[in-house]
Amino acid sequence: MTELHPSDLSPPADVGSLTYASAVAELEAILAQLEDDALDVDRLAERVARAAALIRLCRKRIADTRMEVERIVTDLDGADEPLDPAG
């Protein structure tokens, strides 16, 4: 029997359509399930894979937002420079 590597698991559907807040809420729910001893071992890998996909989504959203904020701040810094009347 061949073991599956975690990277062989296809990412869960619909992760990309979630908002950041929805992804965090779902991660919290998955964490609660993982902490509960009643979680079916057959669903454990599925839940961990979903959590990994949600974490990747959240990290990407944070990185994208940071870049956008930096761009906005840079634009503001350029707007504070005095205008050249000849210009």
Tens of pLDDT, residue by residue over 27-82, are 999 999 989 888 888 899 999 999 999 999 999 999 999 999 999 999 988 876 66
- For 2-29, the pLDDT digits (tens) are 444 444 444 455 788 999 999 999 999 9
Using pLDDT thresholds of 50, 70 and 90, give the confidence band for residue 87: low
Give whole-number Cα distances, 73 to 7, 59, 77, 87, in Å.
38, 21, 6, 24
Distance between CA atoms of 7 and 34, rounded to whole angstroms? 20
Q: Is residue 24 within 8 Å of 16, Cβ to Cβ?
A: no
pLDDT of residue 68: 97
Residue indicated by tokens 């205008």: 83
